[in-house]
Structure 1
């Protein structure tokens, strides 16, 4: 008898908590920067890491680095790790990656955005509202890049010569690949 796949109603995702794991703010050129013309250039970088905690429970950490410059001078730098603990049930391992790299950061980002906005205003600068990140599009792009890299590696393997170390993993990035970005 064939093993039955879990039904969609058997899939559960519980957000246990959302918290700020680490936060850093620097205004290295204050107070001089306040006397200059305000023409901000905003650079945003982000990273997502997944840390297994106990069975079916994971910490997802969204790290944002916001650097704002005016001209050549850095006005301020914010580094934030917004984290959440997720419990999941009924998912196959290959189904977890979208949960960790799309669903979870989409929940964490509004908290991170508000923390950054509040911190920047308290630092004496004009309000900064970070635009939404489409984690689904970023994830799809990363998966496509990984597939392309895998195909290129397959094409470089000499015919008739393969080994387990030469054969790349074809599965979508998941829990074991704790850093996707």
Structure 2
């Protein structure tokens, strides 16, 4: 029985849309503009323990499109997942929370952003694939450099 208690556990408890915002502050006038908008996309990730062995991981996309200095539209979407992760070595836990979980959440976030653009009357914005491993490694290197 003691062996079963030490068996690593990784389960998705739930995936859900945590927050969604669409703003078109300069409509309808800006919708008549013929210029190609500039698109700025920012991604953020967060992980928090919500109880022993259970974590919430979120991936947030902020998409800002502008024509000149005026905002055409702004979308902020936060997709989240609740994961049960137990009996995993501490040195592996951060990688799971920063790489594996976001990779599972991100396709849902991509679909939401594309759908919201379309429903708002714009061509869909397709978020590119993200290498969460490279992001994690860059973050670790930056933290190590700041520690020195």
TM-score (norm 2): 0.90
Is 2:141 the counterpart of 1:144? yes
Is 2:85 the counterpart of 1:88? yes
Structure 1 equivalent of residue 71 of structure 2: 74
Structure 2 equivalent of residue 52 of structure 1: 49
CA distance in 2, matches of 1:57, 1:113: 25
What stretches of structure 2 of length at least 5 have no aligned partner? none
Q: Tell me which stretches of 4 or more aligned residues in structure 1 moved more than 4 Å.
A: none
CA distance in 2, matches of 1:70, 1:105: 31
Task: Output one character per residue of 1:130-154: Cα deviation in whole Å (capped at 9) or x when no partner.
Answer: 1111111111111011111112xxx
Check the 8 A contact 1:83/1:108 in 2, yes or no: yes
What stretches of structure 1 of length at least 5 have no aligned partner? 1-5, 152-181
Is 2:124 the counterpart of 1:130? no
| Count of residues paired in the alignment | 144
Matches within 5 A, 1:12-51: 12-51=9-48
Deviates more, 1:112-121 or 1:33-42: 33-42
Deviation at 1:61, TM superposition (A): 1.3
Is 2:73 the counterpart of 1:65? no
Q: Which has the larger radius of gyration?
A: 1
TM-score (norm 1): 0.75
CA distance in 2, matches of 1:148, 1:42: 31
Deviates more, 1:124-133 or 1:34-43: 34-43
Structure 1 equivalent of residue 114 of structure 2: 117
